[in-house]
Structure 1
Amino acid sequence: MLAYIAAGIFGFALLLDLFDSDLGAPDLFNVHTLLMLGLLFLALYLAGVGRGPGTAGGGGRWYRGRRPGRG
């Protein structure tokens, strides 16, 4: 989930950079601030914070009882 948030922030930062806009708040919505925020979410995702692939409920295989094919 954090990786999706980071991707959305990176996309928003790219659009702001392409249109050369600061949305009227140059200290709050500049490209460098949004890039740092996106990198923060990406680092949190890679560190294992939040729900990522392979965590509980994240779509991995969960066997209840005996695992199939184990004799």
Structure 2
Amino acid sequence: MFAYIAAGIFGFALLLDLFDTDLGAPDLFSPGTLSLAGLLCLALYLAGVGRAPGSGGGGRWRGRRPGRG
């Protein structure tokens, strides 16, 4: 979930930078501030924050691997 939020923030920051606008709030919507917010969300995603309980990664491959006798 945090990865999707980070992607949205990065996309919004890119559009603001491309159109060279600050939407009337230069400190709140600057590309630098939005990039830091996106990096924070990306770091939280990589740290595992917000995952569903018990989703320890790779739950599909628990136990024996198929095809091994």
TM tier, shorter chain?
A: 0.7 to 0.9
CA RMSD of aligned residues (A): 3.0
Q: Secondary structure at the match of 2:48?
A: coil
User: How many residues are treated as equivalent by the alignment?
Assistant: 67
- Which segments of 5 or more consecutive residues in structure 1 lack a partner in the other structure? none
Runs of 4+ aligned residues of structure 1 deviating over 6 Å after TM superposition are none
**Alignment partner of 1:61 is 2:65:** no
Structure 1 counterpart of 2:3:
3
CA distance in 2, matches of 1:24, 1:44: 29
Amino acid at match of 1:61: R
Alignment deviations for residues 5-38 of structure 1 (CA, whole Å, 9 cap, x no partner): 0000000000000000000000111000000000
Question: Which consecutive unaligned segments of at least 5 residues does structure 2 have?
Answer: none
Q: TM-score, normalised by structure 2?
A: 0.77
